[in-house]
Amino acid sequence: MYNSDMKTVAVLRGGPSQEYGVSMKTGQAVLDALGQKNYKTKDIVVAKNGDWLNNGFVKQCDSMLEGVDAVFVGLHGQYGEDGNVQKILQRLNIPFTGSRSMSSAIAFNKELTKRTLGSSELRMPRHRKFQRYELVDLEEQIPVIFSDIGSEVFVKPVACGSSYGARYVPNEETLRSTLNQILEVYDQVLIEEYIRGREATVGVMSNFRNESLYALPVIEIIPPNGRPDFNTEDKYSGEAEGIVPGRFSYSEKAKLAEAALLAHKTLACDHYSRSDFIVKDGEVYFLEINTLPGLTAQSLFPKAASAVGLEFADLVAHLAETAR
């Protein structure tokens, strides 16, 4: 039971990123859930140009957040997950959902995440960063990349969410065209060893069931039509299958939960997160972490929470109450 009668929660959604659409859906779902739990809400839309809007009027963020007890960050991608909006909220000393600015910035950068986790016990695919200026030496680089990383690779922007720009690359010819295309849009990409295994994701949440950090049930992700990757369209079309609890062995599930908790703690994340993995031959490989998992009808984090009896409105209320 949450004492929500007099609490005002501002919901931030939208944002100047490719994930504007899914962020608007996340924010609306959160607003609806908070309404069910009798919270007072303030709907704040961050426009694509960066303006903060309330009821369609542009206002300064400081004045817009006056009298707010907590901020539910429903932003995804740049500005929302990269630590920028968190800097503002920390400056204003307002409790908010998700991780603080520094941890958000590290987690949003996939190469920096792996570098930070390099001294941990987490197993990760081989990888390297590749930047736009390196295209001048692409022909010399391609055989080196496959020699160092593997015969199949996965290419994705270093700092982007929802699998935008991510591509499975099975051979040298495809890598050549993929790098040229993606680096027209992004400054740098991560080239990662493609591991043929089963994809899994694990959510972590703080202060739940008397545990300071609680690992939600493992979800197994099955891309549609046997495709080798879980792409942007799959994430939001509802065509991909998310099985919870995943069909992994007891040992594999334990390793996945341990790895998700370790990644969350090592990166100094706070409140909640969701980490993605590949499981092959009983071994768990960490891929990346999301400090603001989606909260839409197709999202995986609420699906895992529901599996342990925490329905969507209660999940949102829990996150609002435990915002720091």
Q: For the segment 224-266, what is each residue's pLDDT rounded down to a tens digit? A: 765 555 544 545 455 678 999 999 999 999 999 999 999 999 9
What digits encode the pLDDT tens for the residues 163-221? 567 889 998 889 999 999 999 989 999 999 999 999 999 999 999 999 999 999 999 99
Q: 235 and 298, same structural domain?
A: yes
Q: Is the peptide bond between 223 and the residue preceding it cis, with omega within 30 degrees of 0?
A: no
* 8: pLDDT strictly greater than 80: yes
- Residue 55 maps to which CATH number? 3.40.50.20
Of the pLDDT bands very low, low, confident and very high (cuts 50, 70, 90), residue 126 is very high
Q: 53 and 36, same structural domain?
A: yes
Q: 208 and 114, same structural domain?
A: yes
In a domain, 2, yes or no: no
In a domain, 102, yes or no: no
Whole-model pTM: value is 0.90
256: domain range? 107-123+196-321
Per-residue tokens: 53: 């809007």
268 dihedral zone (left: phi>0; alpha: psi -120 to 50; beta): left
Q: 116 and 28, same structural domain?
A: no
Distance CA 259, CA 280 (A): 15
- Residue 183 maps to which CATH number? 3.30.1490.20
pLDDT attached to residue 172: 87
Final residue before a domain boundary, out of 97, 115, 147: 97
